[in-house]
């Protein structure tokens, strides 16, 4: 890898429009959800649909706005940013603002579309559930926080959006907090993210101190034009930012929160996994991509390494999960690994393209899973089976999502996964290329397993499941259309509009982009996908596992390792959480009771003692006595003086006259 | 113009009025004494006006005002005395101690 690529110095020679009034008013995209959340909180309960109508209306407005932005972006190409100065700390101007360029418009569109469909779905899915109104408040806030993050032209706003997303995810994962598991899952997500956030925060501070600005475009400009200035800290900053991204985008070893986050209601999982939370890390890496590319190519190698570990590791765990949502959760982690690895290999567009297609088909899969769970009242695939007959719409759309995820043409996942594989191949990362192909095989396999156990064979659960309400199946059908067609916007050699969309930015993006299909990568990916589906179908259909629901291919002890998620949670508990809990927390507790509490109590006692002394001496004997004496003095004095008031006018006049005469005499004789 | 005798007359009238106010016990007499004082002031106004030959005749105009006010004041004063007399059957000013503490 070259240390400093002269190509990167090239100014952006393309002329983009500033987007006109539509871009200028894009702040409303960010402000609207927060206003809506306030409204839902205060008046939602008194409305006929319990506040869901406000949430839906807001998100529909955002959707329409993002579609119009997308439209002018496709026709003209928009790249502009706006700043509002809100103050300064030392030399740093604290600025908020909104950036309207290819990358953020793509994210607005993804958030707007997926959120709209999830909201429609949720109105029915959450009907009659506890805290319905509050759920919509948090869901609106969640979408709004993500918009704060992706619209951010400054690092400080990114940090704010980042934390807001974390808080909202905490609220939503722990929606059913009455059960201990759910509230601990929420806590786990929050704390894991918090640990990663420290990396982001330090990274931002390092960048800000060394460039003297918080504006991202300014930092990117400096990192492509002024090698000396940042070269010393670039690697550290790049790694720290990546640690932040690892938390939100669930990269190994900080992915542990994401599968547990399935404790939240299914619409939350769909929104979180497709549009609003896990894409944040990939977005950050993409936003800072010119910086990584020109200043810290070594860091990109590390990014790629972690991405590849994640995509393989999480994919393997997904095979052994019995919980339908957990299969999808690990699948998300694995796909995020693809995106991060793609960024690491320098394929900016490929990563964002996969983010784009993945958002639609993963939202589809989650909503489909939600539909199934709603019908059978269980998350476990062992209690499902045979649902294709009773839930035809859910089954069809789920199959479309599965095929899109497995990467068969002409579905969306095929194009994006192929582009990632092609760029691996181009970069000469042979090992990683084959791991990614293996990942594609695993993906196809576990998805076939999930479909077999859920929809094929005979029903193993209780009760009589039936197809979900139209409010739930309509979003499924809409998303199915996206899952089929969203990949067609970037077909090498045919139409590569998506590449132009996301590279339309103030800073020039230098990356490899395939001109035509890489036949080797294409065939490897396709064969891997087909093999995965074939093996899955063979094992779970032809061998009859779907009938009984048990896995015939369990190979001890590999299975045990996978089922225990590589003992990563055990490791964290054994070496991080328990030591903290047992030693540090106990010690802190002891310190608290013995030192701080004692000190506080002592202070309290001393204060009370002092108070008593002050009360008895100063207050009772000093101030009170003085006040009492002065009042009684006034009283007795008045009692005597009042005798002068005889009520006889002539007496008064006499005194008055005496006074006049006295003063006159004084004036006459003395002055 | 000889001012002095007139001023002396006015001063005598004023002193007489003060004396009357302070000494007389009958409320009506006190009111009369107040009139004396006012007239003493009137005389002063008139004499100084003519001495200074004020073209606006402010002194004389003031005198007319004072006479008017005095008439009104005596009207009210007599009414009060009348009511007091009706209630207490006396006009002795020492009996009226409503303002006593």
Q: Please give the structure tokens belonging to residue A483.
A: 């899952």
The count of other CB atoms within 10 Å of the CB of residue A471 is 14
Confidence class for position A389, pLDDT limits 50, 70, 90 = confident
Region A297-303 average pLDDT: 88
Which pLDDT score is estimated for A7?
44
Q: Look at residue A15 and give its three-state secondary structure.
A: coil
Helix, strand, coil proportions of chain A in percent (round to 5)? 75, 5, 20
CB distance A450 to A324 below 8 Å: yes
Residue A413 burial (C-beta neighbours within 10 Å; 0-12, 13-18, 19+): buried
Instruction: Decide which of A15 and A650 is more confident.
Output: A650
Please compute the mean of the pLDDT values over residues B53-67 and round it to a whole number: 91
Which among B18, B21, B97 is the nearest to A647, CB-wise?
Answer: B97
Residues A303-321: what's their mean pLDDT? 87
A115 vs A142: CA distance, rounded Å: 10
What is the pLDDT, as a whole number, of residue B69? 93
Return d(Cα A564, Cα A304) in angstroms, integer. Answer: 25
What confidence score (pLDDT) does residue A12 get? 47
Residue B48: which residues within 8 A CB-CB, separation 6 or more? Answer: B59
Contact: B99, A642; criterion CB under 8 Å: no
Q: What is the pLDDT of residue A542?
A: 66
Which of A35-44, A497-506, A655-664 is predicted most confidently?
A: A655-664
Whether residue B79 has pLDDT greater than 90: yes
Q: Could you tell me the pLDDT band of residue B34, with boundaries at 50, 70 and 90?
A: very high
Backbone Cα Rg of chain A: 34
Residue A645, chain B, CB below 8 Å: the answer is yes
Contact A407, A477 (CB under 8 A): no
pLDDT: is A510 or A527 the higher one?
Answer: A527
Query: What residues in A contact B99, CB-CB < 8 Å?
Result: 645, 647, 649
Q: Is A654 on the interface with B (CB under 8 A)?
A: yes
Rounded CA gap, A12 and B71, in Å?
A: 103
Q: Is the pLDDT of residue A449 over 60?
A: yes
- State the pLDDT at residue A4: 41
B101 CB contacts (<8 Å, ≥6 apart)? A642, A643, A645, A647
- Using a CB-CB cut-off of 8 Å, the residues of chain A touching B98 are 647
In b/e form, how buried is each residue of A596-619, taking b as 16+ CB within 10 angstroms?
eeeeeeeeeeeeeeeeeeeeeeee
Does the domain at residues B4-92 carry the CATH identifier 3.10.20.30?
no
pLDDT value, residue A559: 66
pLDDT at A548: 55
Q: A643 CB near a chain B CB, below 8 Å?
A: yes
Query: pTM for this structure?
Result: 0.73
Confirm whether the ipTM is greater than 0.95: no
pLDDT in tens, A150-207: 998 898 899 999 999 989 888 888 888 888 888 888 888 888 888 889 999 999 988 8
Minimal Cα–Cα distance from A664 to chain B, Å?
Answer: 15
Q: Is A648 on the interface with B (CB under 8 A)?
A: yes
What's the rounded Cα separation, in Å, for the pair A241 and A30? 24
Three-class secondary structure of residue A213 per DSSP: coil
Instruction: Spell out which residues of chain A touch residue B22, defining contact as CB-CB under 8 Å.
Output: 650, 653-654, 657
Residues of A in contact with B94 (CB under 8 A): 648, 650
For A217, the token pair is 């475009």
| Contact residues, chain A, for B34 at CB < 8 Å | none
Would the CB atoms of A647 and B94 count as touching at under 8 Å? no
Least confident span in A368-372, A549-553, B97-101:
A549-553
Contact B22 A649 (CB under 8 A): no
* More reliable by pLDDT, A16 or A587: A587
Mean pLDDT (whole number) for A484-495:
81
Position A583 pLDDT exceeds 90: no
Each domain of chain A, given as residue ranges in start order, spans: 296-504, 568-644
Position B36 pLDDT exceeds 90 = yes
Q: Kindly state the average pLDDT of the residues B24-42.
A: 92
Question: Of B18, B21, B94, which is closest to A648 when you measure between CB atoms?
Answer: B94
State residue A1's pLDDT score.
Answer: 32
Give the model's confidence band at A554: pLDDT under 50 very low, under 70 low, under 90 confident, else very high. low
In this complex, do B97 and A653 lie within 8 Å of one another by their Cβ atoms? no
Tokens standing for residue A312: 């393989």
Reduced to 3 DSSP states, what percent helix, strand and coil does chain B have, rounded to the nearest 5? 80, 0, 20
| Contacting residues of B for A648, CB less than 8 Å apart | 93-94, 97, 100
pLDDT in the model for residue B78? 93
Q: How many residues does chain B have?
A: 101
Q: Which of B22, B98, B100 sits opposite A650 (nearest CB)?
A: B22
pLDDT tens-place string over residues A602-632: 999 999 999 998 888 888 888 888 999 999 9
The mean predicted confidence, pLDDT, of chain A is: 84
* Local confidence band at A658 (pLDDT 50, 70, 90 cut-offs): very high
Bridge partners (DSSP) of residue A215 are A154
pLDDT reported for residue B45: 93
> Domain extents for chain B?
4-92
pLDDT for res A504: 78
Q: With cut-offs at 50, 70 and 90, classify the pLDDT of residue B8.
A: very high
**pLDDT recorded at residue A555:** 57
A647: nearest CB among B18, B22, B99: B99
Closest-CA residue to A83 (of A29, A147, A151): A151
- Where does the pLDDT of residue B75 fall: very low under 50, low under 70, confident under 90, or very high at 90 and above? very high
The pLDDT-based confidence of B66 (bands split at 50, 70, 90) is very high
A130-139, A531-540, A657-666, B3-12: least confident range: A531-540
How many beta-carbon pairs under 8 angstroms link A with B? 29
pLDDT mean over A19-23: 77
Q: What are A38-96's pLDDT values in tens digits?
A: 888 888 788 877 888 888 899 999 999 999 988 888 888 888 888 888 888 877 888 88
d(CA A192, CA A246): 10
A59 in Cβ contact with A271 (< 8 Å): no
Residues of B in contact with A654 (CB under 8 A): 22
Structure tokens at B59: 């002194």
The distance of A637 to chain B (nearest Cα, Å) reads: 14
pLDDT: which is higher, A548 or A492: A492
Contacts of A650 in chain B (CB under 8 A): 21-22, 93-94
The C-alpha torsion from A521 through A524 and A528 to A531, rounded to 10°, is 150
Mean pLDDT of B85-94: 87
Contacts of A427 (CB under 8 A, 6+ apart): A345, A346, A347, A512
How close, in Å, is residue B57 to chain A by CA atoms? 30
Residues A49 and A35: their CA atoms lie apart, in Å, by: 18
Length of chain A: 671
- CA dist A279 and A165 (Å) reads 11
C-alpha A620/C-alpha A630 separation (Å) is 14
What six digits make up the tokens of B9?
């007359």
pLDDT at A213 over 70: yes
Say how many C-beta atoms besides its own lie within 10 A of residue A22's C-beta: 15
A563 or A284: which carries more pLDDT confidence? A284
| Assigned token pair, A135 | 């759920």
Nearest C-alpha of chain B: how many angstroms from A667?
Answer: 20
Give the tens place of pLDDT for each residue, A315-355: 888 888 888 888 888 999 999 999 999 888 888 888 888 99
DSSP string covering A96-153, please?
A: EEEEESHHHHHHHHHHHHHHHHHHHHHHHHTTT-TTHHHHHHHHHHHHHHHHHHHT-S
Greatest distance between any 2 Cα atoms in chain B: 52
How far apart are the CA of B65 and the nearest CA of chain A, in angstroms?
25
* pLDDT for residue A436: 87
Q: SS3 string of A255-300? A: CCHHHHHHHCCHHHHHHHHHHHCCHHHHHHHHHCHHHHHHHCHHHH
């Amino acid at each position: 890898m070259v240390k400093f690529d002269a190509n990167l110095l090239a100014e952006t020679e393309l002329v983009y429009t500033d987007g006109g009034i539509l871009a200028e008013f894009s702040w409303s995209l960010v402000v609207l959800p927060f206003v809506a959340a306030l409204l839902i909180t205060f008046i939602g309960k008194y409305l006929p649909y319990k506040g869901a109508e406000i949430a839906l209306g807001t998100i529909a407005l955002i959707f329409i706005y993002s579609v119009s932005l997308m439209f002018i972006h496709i026709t003209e190409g928009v790249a502009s940013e706006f700043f509002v100065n809100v103050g300064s700390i030392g030399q740093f101007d604290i600025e908020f603002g909104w950036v309207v360029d290819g990358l953020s418009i793509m994210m607005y569109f993804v958030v707007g579309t997926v959120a709209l469909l999830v909201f429609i779905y949720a109105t029915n899915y959450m009907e009659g559930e506890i805290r319905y109104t509050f759920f919509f408040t948090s869901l609106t806030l969640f979408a709004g926080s993500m918009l704060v993050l992706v619209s951010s032209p400054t690092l400080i706003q990114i940090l704010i959006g980042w934390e807001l997303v974390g808080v909202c995810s905490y609220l939503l994962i722990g929606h059913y907090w009455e059960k201990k598991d759910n509230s601990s899952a929420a806590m786990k997500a929050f704390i894991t993210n918090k640990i990663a956030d420290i990396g982001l925060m330090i990274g931002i501070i390092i960048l800000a101190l060394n460039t003297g600005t918080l504006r991202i475009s300014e930092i990117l400009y400096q990192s492509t034009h002024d090698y000396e200035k940042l070269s010393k800290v670039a690697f550290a900053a790049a790694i720290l930012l990546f640690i932040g991204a690892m938390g939100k985008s669930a990269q190994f070893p900080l992915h542990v929160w994401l599968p547990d986050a399935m404790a939240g209601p299914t619409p939350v999982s769909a929104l979180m996994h497709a549009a609003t939370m896990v894409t944040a890390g990939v977005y950050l890496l993409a936003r800072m991509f010119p910086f990584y590319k020109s200043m810290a190519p070594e860091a990109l190698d590390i990014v790629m390494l972690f991405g590849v570990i994640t995509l393989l590791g999480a994919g393997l765990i997904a095979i052994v999960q019995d919980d339908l949502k957990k299969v999808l959760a690990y699948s998300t982690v694995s796909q995020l690994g693809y995106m991060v690895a793609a960024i690491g290999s320098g394929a900016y567009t490929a990563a964002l393209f996969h983010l784009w297609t993945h958002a639609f088909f993963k939202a589809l899969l989650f909503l489909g899973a939600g539909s199934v769970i709603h019908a059978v009242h269980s998350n476990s695939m062992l209690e499902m089976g045979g649902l294709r007959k009773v839930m035809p719409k859910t089954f069809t759309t789920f199959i479309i999502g599965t095929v899109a995820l497995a990467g068969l043409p002409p579905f969306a996942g095929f194009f994006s996964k192929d582009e990632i594989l092609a760029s691996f191949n181009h970069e000469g990362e042979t090992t990683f290329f084959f791991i990614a192909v293996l990942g594609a095989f695993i993906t196809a396999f576990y998805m076939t397993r999930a479909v077999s156990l859920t929809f094929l064979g005979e029903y193993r659960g209780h009760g009589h499941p039936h197809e979900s309400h139209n409010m739930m199946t309509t979003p499924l059908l809409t998303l199915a259309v996206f899952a089929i067609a969203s990949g067609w916007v970037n077909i090498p050699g045919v139409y590569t509009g998506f590449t132009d969309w996301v590279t339309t930015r103030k800073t020039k993006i230098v990356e490899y982009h395939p001109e035509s299909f890489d036949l080797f990568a294409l065939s490897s990916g396709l064969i891997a996908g087909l093999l995965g589906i074939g093996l899955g179908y063979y094992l779970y259909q032809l061998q009859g596992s779907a009938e009984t629901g048990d896995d015939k291919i369990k190979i001890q002890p590999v299975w045990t390792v996978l089922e225990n998620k590589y003992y990563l949670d055990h490791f964290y508990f054994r070496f991080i959480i328990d030591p903290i809990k047992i030693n540090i927390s106990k010690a802190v507790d002891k310190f608290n009771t013995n030192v701080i509490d004692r000190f506080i109590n002592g202070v309290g006692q001393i204060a009370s003692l002092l108070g008593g002394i002050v009360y008895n001496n100063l207050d009772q004997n000093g101030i009170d006595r003085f006040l009492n004496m002065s009042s009684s003095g006034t009283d007795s004095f008045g009692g005597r003086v009042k005798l002068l008031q005889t009520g006889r006018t002539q007496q008064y006049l006499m005194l008055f006259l005496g006074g006049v005469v006295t003063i006159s005499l004084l004036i006459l004789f003395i002055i | 113009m000889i001012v002095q005798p007139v001023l002396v007359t006015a001063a005598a009238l004023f002193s007489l009025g003060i004396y009357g106010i302070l000494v007389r016990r009958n409320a009506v007499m006190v009111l009369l004494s107040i009139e004396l004082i006012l007239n003493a002031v009137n005389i002063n106004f008139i004499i100084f006006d003519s001495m200074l030959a004020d073209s606006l005749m402010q002194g004389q105009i003031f005198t007319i005002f004072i006479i008017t006010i005095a008439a009104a004041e005596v009207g009210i004063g007599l009414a009060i005395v009348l009511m007091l007399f009706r209630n207490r059957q006396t006009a002795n000013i020492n009996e009226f101690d409503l303002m006593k503490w």
